[in-house]
């Protein structure tokens, strides 16, 4: 027989799907409690860091900038130049395995406490929704109500506020890639002056708007790859938000006022009503649980009211729930942390293995000119310098033939590598060339240590005599 209680979930299908497979929209109730307070504090800290970081300068550089065009990564005043894809891969892979390590220890702590999806929805979008449309019951009734002026105004106000916030979040995200000054300059210009960036920002805004405003828990349940993989990373020692079956069952039957002797669960469904993914945690750890702890606060509140100890739903491991000790250091977590550290080590080895200084000589349209009444030949180049790492080199350019002088536009021969592009002249007596061209070696030498950082072969040309 079909239950009349809308919070009694069908065990055969997702809480957010009806019998026809259509989405059931959720109206999670708000909750108060110590876990909510802790999460709110962290959410706002993360939001402030996210919104402020790209606008903040340290040593004249943005606090955080990913400059894809120049392959530069700036963080808290330090810049890595010429970041190669392999370095990027190593650091991302290390981060992923570190999240795997955290998951094996602390379950989906990322999802509930730090994922932008949860942070923005819980701290901003849900607050706005409650402001315009009221608490859970009012929101549910408003959805069912026919369209009216009041409903239209509430909806319009909510989506307008969502759009403004989404625009701001999207612009901040773009700021991480173009830098604050550039972003500010572009924002003041007409869209037609920067079509690519304008369209990119609008697409990102639309994605945030639809995801945070409407798609919400569906992303966590069906789209997030981490959500799909988390069960592989966890075991019976991982910390999860769990219902204490031994203590809670048998629960009171719905509608029965007088309490029978057994379990502590009074079947109030408050843990279900507050769940942002609509699940009943009393059915055990589920893929849809994002470990947001809303149900812990909801149940603790009820337990306090009925004079029972709190913690019927709490952070625990499967082992602890059946009375076994929880192992913190497990083989699984050890493997994850070892792989993560290996990737970090490889990253550092690649970074420091060499100067990774790269020289590219681009010949000018006019390859050479004759001076000193034709006695001296000057070859013209643009020299592009790039390197990985954060060090700035002062280099001298030295040719393996002492009769050929290397002259640059930054200093006779000294350049700062971050300058990246310099004008270079190779100057030599015309007698150096017999057949119109010759290959010479040009080395970049550290001006302090005199160590050779890189050497390239260059063809010098002149008139055929």
Residues at the contact surface with ligand SF4, assessed by CB under 6 A: 241, 243, 248, 265-271, 274-277, 279, 281-282, 289-295, 298-299, 302, 312-313
Q: Are 368 and 428 in contact (CB under 8 A)?
A: no
C-alpha span between 239 and 319 (Å, rounded): 10
C-alpha span between 451 and 57 (Å, rounded): 34
CB of 32 to ligand SF4, least distance (A): 14
CB closer to ligand SF4, 53 vs 275: 275
C-alpha span between 309 and 372 (Å, rounded): 97
C-alpha span between 257 and 276 (Å, rounded): 28
CB closer to ligand SF4, 275 vs 406: 275
CB of 448 to ligand SF4, least distance (A): 58
CB of 7 to ligand SF4, least distance (A): 9
Query: What residues contact 299, with CB distance under 8 A and at least 6 apart?
Result: 270, 271, 310, 312, 313
Annotate 149-176 with b (16+ C-beta within 10 A) or e (fewer): eeeeebeeebbebbeebbbebbbbbbbb
CB of 19 to ligand SF4, least distance (A): 22
CB of 308 to ligand SF4, least distance (A): 9
DSSP alpha helix (H) spans, 234-330: 245-248, 270-273, 294-305, 318-321
CB of 316 to ligand SF4, least distance (A): 12
In which region does residue 15 sit, left (phi positive, over 0), alpha (psi from -120 to 50) or beta (all else)?
alpha
CB of 280 to ligand SF4, least distance (A): 8
- Residue 313, SS3? strand
CB closer to ligand SF4, 279 vs 357: 279
C-alpha span between 167 and 171 (Å, rounded): 6
Residue 111 has a CB neighbour count (10 Å cut-off) of 21
Query: What residues contact 437, with CB distance under 8 A and at least 6 apart?
Result: 459, 460, 461, 462
CB of 124 to ligand SF4, least distance (A): 18
Q: Are 379 and 426 in contact (CB under 8 A)?
A: yes
CB closer to ligand SF4, 285 vs 340: 285
- Distance, C-alpha 416 to centroid of its chain: 32
CB of 276 to ligand SF4, least distance (A): 6
């Amino acid at each position: 027989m079909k239950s009349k209680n809308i919070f009694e979930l069908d065990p055969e299908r997702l809480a957010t799907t009806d019998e026809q497979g259509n989405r059931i929209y959720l109206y999670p109730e708000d909750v108060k409690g110590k876990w909510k307070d802790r999460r709110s504090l962290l959410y706002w800290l993360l939001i402030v860091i996210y919104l402020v970081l790209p606008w903040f300068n340290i040593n004249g550089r943005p606090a955080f900038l990913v400059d894809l065009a120049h392959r530069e990564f700036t963080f808290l005043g330090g810049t890595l130049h010429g970041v190669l894809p392999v370095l990027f891969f190593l650091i991302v892979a290390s981060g992923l395995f570190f999240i795997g390590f955290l998951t094996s220890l602390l379950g989906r702590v990322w999802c509930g406490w730090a994922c932008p999806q949860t942070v923005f929805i819980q701290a901003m979008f849900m607050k706005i929704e409650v402001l315009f449309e009221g608490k859970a019951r009012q929101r549910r009734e408003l959805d069912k109500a026919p369209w009216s002026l009041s409903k239209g105004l509430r909806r319009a106000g909510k989506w307008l506020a969502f759009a403004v916030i989404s625009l701001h979040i999207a612009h901040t995200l773009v700021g991480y890639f173009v830098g604050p000054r550039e972003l500010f300059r572009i924002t003041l210009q007409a869209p037609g002056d920067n079509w690519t960036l304008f369209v990119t920002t609008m697409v990102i805004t639309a994605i945030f708007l639809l995801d945070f405003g409407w798609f919400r828990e569906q992303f966590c349940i069906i789209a997030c790859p981490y959500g799909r993989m988390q069960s592989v990373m966890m075991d019976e020692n991982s910390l999860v938000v769990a219902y204490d079956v031994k203590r809670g069952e048998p629960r009171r039957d719905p509608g029965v006022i007088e309490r029978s002797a057994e379990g502590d669960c009074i079947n109030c469904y408050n843990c279900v009503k507050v769940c942002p993914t609509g699940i009943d945690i009393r059915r055990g750890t589920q893929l849809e649980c994002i470990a947001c702890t809303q149900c812990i606060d909801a149940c603790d509140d009820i337990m306090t009211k009925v004079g029972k100890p709190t913690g019927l739903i709490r952070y625990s491991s499967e082992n602890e729930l059946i009375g076994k000790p929880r192992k913190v250091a497990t083989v699984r977590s050890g493997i994850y942390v070892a792989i993560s550290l290996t990737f970090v080590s490889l990253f550092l080895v690649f970074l420091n293995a060499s100067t990774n200084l790269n020289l590219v000589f681009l010949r000018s349209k006019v390859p050479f000119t004759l001076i000193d009444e034709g006695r001296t030949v000057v070859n013209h180049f643009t020299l592009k310098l790039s390197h990985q790492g954060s060090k700035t080199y002062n280099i001298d350019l030295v040719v393996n033939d002492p009769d050929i002088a290397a002259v640059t536009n930054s200093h006779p021969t000294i350049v700062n590598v971050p300058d990246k592009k310099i004008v270079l002249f190779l100057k030599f007596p015309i007698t150096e060339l017999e057949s119109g061209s010759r290959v010479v070696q040009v080395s970049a030498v550290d001006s302090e240590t005199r160590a050779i950082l890189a050497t390239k072969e260059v063809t010098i040309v002149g008139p055929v005599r």
